[in-house]
Homo-oligomer: A and B are copies of this chain.
Amino acid sequence: MPVLLSPPEAANLLPVPGVRLGVTEAAIRKLNRRDLTLIELAPGSRVAGVFTQNRFCAAPVQVCKQHLPQGDIRALVINTGIANAGTGEQGLAASNATCDAVAGLLDIEARQVLPFSTGVILEQLPVEKLVAGLPGAQAALQADGWYEAAHGIMTTDTIAKARSVQVNVGGKTVTLTGISKGAGMIKPNMATMLGFLATDADVAQPLLDVLVKEAADLSFNSITVDGDTSTNDSFILMATGQAGNPTITDAASADYAALRAAVVELSIWLAQAIVRDGEGATKFITLRIEGGADREECRKVGYAIGHSPLVKTAFFASDPNLGRILAAIGYAGIADLDVSRLRVWLASAGEEVLVAEKGGRALSYQEEAGARVMQEAEITVRVDLARGEASTTMWSCDFSYDYVKINADYRS
């Protein structure tokens, strides 16, 4: 059960002019499962992306990194079941063969195709099954395919993640629709996380390249479920340019600001949805770290709290075990942290409770107040490091029996 997240409704997902999507069952690892998704982009579309930092980056990620800089991307192909990671030369050949097959069907070049895979690592991709499924995906291509695509990229996700927003840019209504998938192995630098966001805005390639990094940094790279960084993570931003707005070329322009705000908001929603549907999650935790000397140390503190199994199990138990939070702050790696100056609050929608100051429990703190906040499904941990002006916001979830169950049983 995701934390305060509902399944998407097909009617609320808006087509993005210039984008068509098709999904099929290719039996890549299991039968009767939508496991192959094709996304076709109209000529003239621009694409930017960010990828996992894992040194064991999957074969499709390696291929994406070759194809993307050449520009003129016209298709994306996504399979689930097998991640095609840790598969050596054979895996690379499989990803290239996938691109060849898509190119043949769509009458484009293989270098115009970006491949994505998610699922079990260290097993070879049955590329012949994938290729055999492609005509079905092609036949299913439709502008209204986002709902299907959101389901087609799911692995251990319990519900699909998709959303549309519209924004006025240069006097035109611009549409943005995005989909994402988690659910475990989510951490900084993009865990087994796929995100695809398309807009019909007309925006110059250099700005799109900057925007995808900024948006990823504020969203997908600010979430953590279990601290593991996967081999396959990718976040792709596509702009078809069909909205008719004047091409955005100036990072200081109001048009860019409007587009940027919409992309960032949607990216955060898609990233948060992954945390809300984190494996076994029962609580959605916002980590608001303020007063840092720089953003990096704020992120260190956020990750220390967000990754701590002891903190996460306490949240699962709705136990205001503040000591574990303080201990996590203490080992976050800020060598000259003065613990006597920092303050910590626990907050829910209804109230904010000062829990720690002066190196210990706040005098005003009542355990009942902490316990009340911890009962909520959405909880904010706010930390003031009292060292400077930097801040950051990150999102995490708790750690439950079901996390162990899901990950102990995943391959069986």
Binding site for B on A (CB under 8 A): 53-57, 83, 85-91, 120-123, 184-185, 189, 226-231, 307-310, 313-314, 316-317, 319, 321-324, 326-332, 334-335, 337, 339-340, 356, 358-361, 399-401, 403-405, 407-412
Query: Could you name 5 residue pairs across A and B whose Cβ atoms are closer than 8 Å?
Result: A57-B330, A88-B359, A88-B360, A91-B360, A309-B403
A54 to B229: give the CA distance in the assembly, Å. 25
Q: Contact: A400 with B411, CB < 8 Å?
A: no
CB distance from A70 to the nearest CB of B (A): 24
14 more contacts with CB within 8 A, not counting A122-B360, A185-B327, A309-B309, are: A55-B329, A85-B323, A86-B339, A89-B359, A122-B321, A122-B323, A226-B310, A227-B309, A228-B328, A229-B327, A231-B326, A231-B327, A313-B403, A401-B401
Chain B, residue nearest A92 (CB):
B359
A360 to B399: give the CA distance in the assembly, Å. 31
A409 to B313: give the CA distance in the assembly, Å. 9
The 5 residue pairs across chains A and B that have the minimum distance between CB atoms:
A121-B323, A56-B330, A88-B360, A122-B323, A317-B408
What chain B residues lie within 8 Å of A324 (beta carbons)?
121, 228
A87 to B323: give the CA distance in the assembly, Å. 10
CB distance from A180 to the nearest CB of B (A): 19
Q: Contact: B331 with A184, CB < 8 Å?
A: no
Is the contact region of chain A dominated by helix, strand, or loop, or is it mixed? loop
Q: Which one, B122, B226, B358, contacts A322 given CB within 8 A?
A: B122
Q: Contact: B90 with A360, CB < 8 Å?
A: yes
Q: Contact: A356 with B122, CB < 8 Å?
A: yes
Q: Contact: B412 with A317, CB < 8 Å?
A: yes
Chain B, residue nearest A313 (CB):
B407
Q: Contact: A319 with B411, CB < 8 Å?
A: yes
Q: Contact: A308 with B55, CB < 8 Å?
A: no
Quick one: given A55-B337, A321-B411, are A309 and B86 in contact (CB under 8 Å)?
no
A353 to B91: give the CA distance in the assembly, Å. 22
A399 to B408: give the CA distance in the assembly, Å. 9
Q: Contact: B404 with A54, CB < 8 Å?
A: no
Q: Contact: B407 with A404, CB < 8 Å?
A: no
What chain B residues lie within 8 Å of A337 (beta carbons)?
55
Q: Which one, B85, B88, B120, contacts A340 given CB within 8 A?
A: B88
A332 to B231: give the CA distance in the assembly, Å. 12
Q: Which one, B56, B83, B120, B227, contacts A308 given CB within 8 A?
A: B227
Quick one: given A309-B226, A313-B407, are A327 and B412 in contact (CB under 8 Å)?
no
Q: Contact: B404 with A331, CB < 8 Å?
A: no
What chain B residues lie within 8 Å of A87 (beta carbons)?
359-361
Q: Contact: B340 with A408, CB < 8 Å?
A: no
A317 to B404: give the CA distance in the assembly, Å. 9
What chain B residues lie within 8 Å of A329 (beta carbons)?
55-56
Q: Contact: B408 with A327, CB < 8 Å?
A: no
